[in-house]
Amino acid sequence: MANKEEFFDHINNGYATKGESITLGAAMLDGETLTNAFVKIPLKTLNRHGLIAGATGTGKTKTLQILAENLSEKGIPVLLMDMKGDLSGIAQPSPGHAKIDERHEKIGLPFTAKKFPVEILSISDQKGVRMRATVSEFGPVLLSRIMDLTETQSGIVSVIFKYCDDNKYPLLDLKDFKKILQYTTDEGKDELAKDYGRISTASTGAILRKVVELEQQGADLFFGEKSFDTDDLLRVDENGMGYINIIRLTDIQDRPKMFSTFMLSLLAEIYSTFPEQGDSGRPELVIFIDEAHLIFKEASSALLNQIESIVKLIRSKGVGLYFVTQNPTDVPDGVLSQLGLKVQHALRAFTAKDRKAIKLTAENYPISEYYKTDEVLTSLGIGEALVSALNEKGIPTPLAATMLRAPMSRMDVLEDNELKELIDESKLIKKYNDVVDRESAYELLNKKIEVAEQEEVKAKAEKEKKAAEQSSSGSSRRRSSSKSTQSVWIKTLSSPTVIRSVLGILGKMMR
């Protein structure tokens, strides 16, 4: 059995902070919680990303809730991906419980029930502030990667974007993109071939099928106007608390392509619009992605590379990304290696495969003389986790089995009337929920095609008219010539000379 006093000093020294920090809970040794042996996460390192993992029912969502609450309390806005629909309770204070009081007494922290400023967002038909982006904002490269297009098909998408830019055809939603795809191989194929090269009908047909696949997953609701301004994720209320923005995603769990499309678009927009922050000592925004395996499910290698690049680069903008999933192996190694904070809840060893996964997971944590990591992973209770973080100097902290504090807000969903009241009070609803369908590529190309058809009909009519006139003129000349000939004959036959001649001949015959 390890020396408790020695371990206590080990934890307090390893997690000591000079600047602002978040207290997750107290360290545990041999199944016992050591009061006041606080496990703290410096705000300075929260843009170094993180992982919250563990089997179903071990407390991952509550850990996410704890982090979100404490960040909000420090004035740092948060964005939560609510895949299971159980995070809206953050808008109401915890009703309290004797077990919560008992837990906090062991930890050495007072418990205070509190509600937090919440904004409900949506990318589907669910109620909340609508989040959208235009096809143009998404860009040809990201759009191609989401649809897993070939190099040739990606080149065609880039040409289409260039053509629309050159001719001022806004690409706002998927119907715009579908229309321009059809146009390039039909009415406009000669026009594009002249300036951009001929486009294969087979390639545009394949791209169109990929677009239809996106539509079937609900992407037509996401693409369009009004585009969501990422600055609205950075709001702070009148009390200096950061808003907790909750995106309700319960209806797209079975649509991974839709989820990854939205997520990658949002991260790309944040990266392109947020200023470089440098070493400010605290993050600008922290994003929690629940059920993170959905991002990586069915993702192509190109898409995975894009995600890895964004994870590496976005922290310079003061943005922290936290992936919540059942097993660390759900996250690609290239992404996993970028995660500074790891909160590992219990894993269950039901099969040989599970036991191998546990040993692999244990190897991702610092070696500790106080724990047999693989054994601890299977013995942790609900609301307990192995924690490894970065201190203020960016050095990994000691591994600590931790009794986590309880959420200050309600650990349950809002009632329907509470949710309605929260949404009705939103200042962003009017800004984003009115549908905007201004003139874009779809309408402009339809007008262009209509004008071309009208001109074609007009030209055909002119040609037919001219042909008719030419035919009529020829008939008139023939009729005029005939009449003239008749007149000459009549005039000749009726002349005195002819008459006298005829009468003379007749007279001779009578004699």
Convert the pLDDT of each residue in 28-73 to its tens digit: 999 899 999 999 999 999 999 999 999 888 999 999 999 999 999 9
pLDDT category, 502, cuts 50, 70, 90? very low
pLDDT category, 487, cuts 50, 70, 90? low
The yes-or-no verdict on residue 379 having pLDDT over 60 is yes
* For the chain, percent of residues with pLDDT exceeding 90: 41
Top-confidence range, 62-76, 128-142, 261-275: 62-76
- List beta partners, residue 116: none
pLDDT of residue 262: 80
- How far apart CA 445 and CA 169 sit, in angstroms, is 8
Query: Stretch 211-230: mean pLDDT, rounded?
Result: 86
The secondary structure of 13-53 as a DSSP string is HHT--SS-EEEEEEEEETTEEEEEEEEEEEGGGGGG-EEEE
In a 3-state reduction of DSSP, which class is residue 261?
A: helix
pLDDT of residue 198: 85
Identify which has the larger pLDDT, 43 or 189.
43
pLDDT in tens, 328-349: 888 888 888 889 999 999 988 7
The two beta strands, 78-82 and 285-289, are parallel
Question: Within 13 Å of residue 163, how many CA atoms lie on the same side as its CB?
Answer: 24
pLDDT of residue 353: 80
Identify which has the larger pLDDT, 289 or 352.
289
pLDDT category, 473, cuts 50, 70, 90? low
- How far apart CA 156 and CA 184 sit, in angstroms, is 10
pLDDT category, 120, cuts 50, 70, 90? very high
The yes-or-no verdict on residue 498 having pLDDT over 50 is no
The yes-or-no verdict on residue 138 having pLDDT over 90 is no
pLDDT in tens, 367-377: 888 999 989 99
Residues 6 or more apart in contact with residue 122 via CB below 8 angstroms: 128, 129, 130, 131, 247, 248
The yes-or-no verdict on residue 486 having pLDDT over 70 is no
pLDDT category, 215, cuts 50, 70, 90? confident
pLDDT of residue 261: 75
What is the overall mean pLDDT for the chain? Answer: 85
pLDDT of residue 495: 58
- How far apart CA 21 and CA 399 sit, in angstroms, is 18
Query: Stretch 93-107: mean pLDDT, rounded?
Result: 95
Task: Provide φ and ψ at 245, rounded to 5°.
Answer: -90, 120
pLDDT category, 106, cuts 50, 70, 90? very high
pLDDT in tens, 409-454: 999 898 989 999 999 999 999 888 877 777 777 788 778 777 766 7
The yes-or-no verdict on residue 157 having pLDDT over 50 is yes
pLDDT of residue 146: 80
Task: Provide φ and ψ at 305, rounded to 5°.
Answer: -65, -40
pLDDT in tens, 282-324: 999 999 998 888 777 766 677 778 788 888 889 999 999 999 9
